[in-house]
């Protein structure tokens, strides 16, 4: 993973993109992120933070798109990035994207695969693909709509404009906005708190909410019921319930 730094503090994995100057997403960086996420699937990891050096990720490496015009195969970056974003989204533990500088295009799409987005006050985010005559190809039309609502997502995708961390917070795209020097500390501290919780329960919430979206109420409630039954059989459910009955603090194992 030469373009990604991977480290572990306690039960929290820190995945740091490191392709100067702006972490433009090419096939090599995407592959390294995928490898890091594979490592983070370990049951010893109970939360993960993904970030970037100086900038989170300023979108795709557009120079690679030019080569695709002369190729008989479609440009591979969108599909590759889409799979990585989905993998981040499906990590069975809480995840935080810690965003400083630019998170544009594919960079914002990557951040939207995390459960929460924390932004430094200097962050600028957006889906500027339309300014190139194309559209987002790794979830920017779909996840953005789920997070900020239909009309706000349409406006951002139509305009391609960059928005500040403050505006991102106003539309709930950013969950927290902090000073740049505090960003990683706050993200890691919150991730450490999640890592002490019932990991299977967090995953059940993610699965029920994600899989239930867009279904009828009846179908969505069935998805929730199945998730409840699955997590009720976990060790952490027994731990939490018995601790409550005995008026003790639960010591969740993540299983």
Chain segment 224-255, per-residue pLDDT in tens: 999 999 999 999 999 999 999 999 999 998 88
Q: Give me the catalytic one of 28, 75, 89, 109.
A: 109
Contact between 123 and 164 (Cβ < 8 Å): yes
Annotation says 109 is catalytic? yes
pTM over 0.85: yes
Chain segment 186-219, per-residue pLDDT in tens: 999 999 999 999 999 999 999 999 999 889 999 9
Mean pLDDT, residues 86-112 taken together: 97
pLDDT of residue 74: 55
Tokens standing for residue 117: 């987005």
Average pLDDT, the chain: 93
Has residue 93 got a pLDDT over 70? yes
Q: Give me the catalytic one of 72, 75, 129, 218.
A: 129
Mean pLDDT, residues 30-51 taken together: 97
pLDDT of residue 78: 64
> CA torsion sign, 120 to 159 to 116 to 87?
negative
Measure CA 202 to chain center.
14
Has residue 71 got a pLDDT over 70? no
Has residue 52 got a pLDDT over 60? yes
Chain segment 130-165, per-residue pLDDT in tens: 999 999 999 999 999 999 999 999 999 999 999 999
Closest CA to 4 of 26, 95, 12: 26
Reported as a pLDDT band with limits 50, 70 and 90, residue 62 is confident
pLDDT of residue 60: 80
pLDDT of residue 200: 93
Count H helices and E strands in the chain, helices first: 11, 9
Burial of 134 (0-12, 13-18, 19+ CB in 10 A): middle
With a pLDDT cut of 70, the percent of the chain lying above it is: 93
Has residue 61 got a pLDDT over 90? no
Has residue 220 got a pLDDT over 90? yes
Has residue 44 got a pLDDT over 80? yes
Instruction: Produce one character per residue of 211-225: b if its CB has 16 or more CB atoms within 10 Å, e if not.
Output: ebeeeeeeebeebbe
């Amino acid at each position: 993973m030469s373009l990604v730094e991977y480290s572990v503090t306690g039960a929290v994995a820190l995945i740091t993109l490191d392709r100067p100057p702006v972490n433009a997403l090419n096939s090599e960086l995407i592959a390294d992120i995928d490898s890091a996420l594979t490592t983070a699937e370990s049951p010893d990891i109970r939360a993960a933070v993904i970030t970037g050096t100086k900038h989170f990720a300023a979108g795709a490496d557009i120079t690679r798109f030019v080569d695709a015009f002369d190729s008989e195969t479609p440009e591979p970056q969108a599909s590759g990035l889409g799979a990585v974003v989905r993998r981040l989204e499906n990590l069975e533990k809480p995840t935080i994207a810690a965003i400083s500088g630019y998170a544009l295009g594919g960079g914002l799409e990557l951040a939207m695969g995390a459960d929460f987005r924390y932004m430094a006050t200097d962050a600028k985010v957006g889906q500027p693909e339309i300014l190139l005559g194309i559209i987002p190809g790794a979830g920017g039309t779909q996840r953005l709509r789920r997070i900020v609502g239909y009309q706000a997502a349409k406006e951002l995708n139509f305009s391609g404009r960059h928005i500040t961390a403050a505006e991102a917070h106003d539309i709930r795209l950013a969950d927290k906005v902090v000073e740049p020097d505090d960003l990683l500390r706050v993200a890691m501290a919150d991730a450490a708190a999640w890592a002490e919780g019932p990991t299977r329960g967090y995953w059940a919430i993610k699965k029920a909410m994600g899989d239930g979206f867009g279904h009828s109420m009846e179908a969505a409630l069935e998805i929730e019921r199945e998730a409840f039954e699955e997590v009720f059989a976990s060790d952490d459910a027994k731990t939490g319930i018995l601790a409550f009955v005995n008026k003790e603090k639960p010591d969740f194992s993540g299983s």
